[in-house]
Amino acid sequence: MSSTEETIYCYHCGRRHPSNEMRQIATKAGKKWRCIRSIEATKRDVAQRDAFGKTVTTINKSENQARIKARQNAERLLAAG
């Protein structure tokens, strides 16, 4: 390597990245270096999962409400008949 650019081993990717792309993070096993890109990618994944979870919850809620309404309608019909 002719480059004078410093590289640091990224435990997440298992390869070296330029040091300006690296962040040192604290893990249970001690301080480790990880690239900003993988950290940001993980953050995005978590945000997407949260958004997905909220969507599912909303769908479940509206399904429940539809079921409750259908039952109330049925009971009303039975009561009327």
Contacting residues toward Zn ion, per CB under 5 A: 10, 12-13, 35, 38
The least distance separating Zn ion from the CB of residue 57, rounded to whole angstroms, comes to: 33
Instruction: Rank residues 25 and 66 by Cβ distance to Zn ion and give the closer one.
Output: 25
Cβ proximity of 72 and 47 under 8 Å:
no
Instruction: Rank residues 19 and 48 by Cβ distance to Zn ion and give the closer one.
Output: 19
Instruction: Rank residues 21 and 30 by Cβ distance to Zn ion and give the closer one.
Output: 21
Q: Using CA atoms, how far apart are residues 14 and 25, in angstroms rounded to an integer?
A: 15
Amino acid at 28: K
Q: Using CA atoms, how far apart are residues 81 and 77, in angstroms rounded to an integer?
A: 6
